[in-house]
Structure 1
Amino acid sequence: MSTIDKQLETMLANIPEKTGKPLDQWLAQLAPLGFAKHGEIVKFLKSEHGVTHGFANLIAAKALEAGARADAPADPVAEQYSGAKAALKPVYDAVVAYAQTLGDDVEIAPKKASVSLRRKKQFALITAATRTRIDLGLALKGEPATGRLETYNAMCSHRVRLESLADLDEDVRGWIAEAYSRAG
């Protein structure tokens, strides 16, 4: 066991003594409050309960890890591609299936409103932007924006708009593969 693992184990064991409650009671108290951010939980624990910063930080991390947020959807992908956006699910599935052919190290990380594709770092972001379009963000910093490959935002330098399976053509697959190779 590493030194860090031992320190974490010690802190977890000391939560009841140092904070006045065991971790499971903190988690039960936090769950109905619906905090969405780590910092919000830390601030609440410190200001309302006098928990020291280190223990507040640990409890907040465990609360989010345990899914203690009341608003967390059970299946974020199913939520994203439901209702008016349901017709986009085959396009999403095809993008993910292609990304998985690039290597065994592709991680699919669903969030509330998007799905991140990562390797050592994020290389793509799939967002059901409208009822008729997926925005496929790609980490291709330094590449010129041309035609379908548009400039995007800070997280993903470029975007490609996908409205049908036909849009996932050789060009798009090439851009995904390039973004994947850069994330290694």
Structure 2
Amino acid sequence: MDVDAATQTMIDNLPAKTGRELPAWFATLDAAAIDGHGAAVAFLKSEHGVTHGFANLIVKLHRSQGETVTAEGLVDAQYEGRKAGLRPVYESLVAAASALGDDVEVSPKKTGVSLRRHKQFALVEAPSAARISVGINLRDVAPTERLRSASGMCTHRVDVTSVEEVDAELLGWLRDAYDRA
């Protein structure tokens, strides 16, 4: 179970705020054998006086015991169900980006896959079942009809709906972004 700093702080504060450490709360939930996240949160709040934030954390961590989040699992989750048809497009994009150099890091997150060198040069996301959005960092490059201006983590975006659209033009933009990273 990997936790971020804020979650770890809450775990560290459990004994002072709730009177028990996390393993003791897990034993309480195991003994109660309650189905459903909401019901377990309500149980901790009503029967044990745990505040909502701590109850939610305890139940979330209890339910995720033994789960290991892998890079492959994150990608699988992004391209399941209605988005499964986009998996070949994703695979084509990642293969093309990886071929840019031995130093390309493919870093899956919950909602997208970051492509990095020294810094991120592209971001692959599937915002809908119909398209993949490729964010590309190309400062000082004028947008075009296909290479649209964007804000946030990437300066530009290109929508891709098929493997055929992973073409020389898109690969050129990825190469330029890679070279700048």
Shared topology, TM-score over 0.5? yes
Matches within 5 A, 1:1-184: 31=1, 37-45=4-12, 47-49=13-15, 70=64, 73-74=69-70, 75-183=73-181
User: 2:9 and 2:119 mapped to 1: Cα distance?
Assistant: 27
What is the RMSD of the two structures over their aligned residues, measured on CA atoms?
A: 2.2
AA aligned to 1:148 is: R
- Structure 1 length as normaliser, TM-score? 0.65
3-state SS of paired residue (1:116): strand
AA aligned to 1:41 is: Q
AA aligned to 2:6 is: G
3-state SS of paired residue (1:115): strand
Describe the superposition over 1:45-90 as per-residue Cα deviations: whole angstroms up to 9, x where unpaired. 2x4347xxxxxxxxxxxxxxxxx99376441111111110011011
Flag the 1:36–1:142 CA change in 2: closer, same or farther, 3 A.
Answer: farther
AA aligned to 2:134 is: L
Residue 138 of structure 1 contacts residue 156 of structure 1 at CA under 8 Å; is this kept in 2?
A: yes
Unaligned runs of 5+ in 1: 1-30, 51-67
Cα shift at 1:154: 1.8
Runs of 4+, deviation exceeding 4 Å: 71-74
3-state SS of paired residue (1:130): coil
AA aligned to 2:115 is: L
Cα shift at 1:157: 0.8
User: 1:108 and 1:86 mapped to 2: Cα distance?
Assistant: 20
User: 1:169 and 1:132 mapped to 2: Cα distance?
Assistant: 18
3-state SS of paired residue (2:9): helix
Identity %: 41
Residue 36 of structure 1 contacts residue 69 of structure 1 at CA under 8 Å; is this kept in 2?
A: no
Greater C-alpha Rg? 2
User: 1:85 and 1:134 mapped to 2: Cα distance?
Assistant: 9
Aligned length: 132
Describe the superposition over 1:135-166 as per-residue Cα deviations: whole angstroms up to 9, x where unpaired. 00001122111111111222111100000112
User: 1:42 and 1:142 mapped to 2: Cα distance?
Assistant: 41
User: 1:97 and 1:89 mapped to 2: Cα distance?
Assistant: 12
- Structure 2 length as normaliser, TM-score? 0.66
User: 1:36 and 1:135 mapped to 2: Cα distance?
Assistant: 28
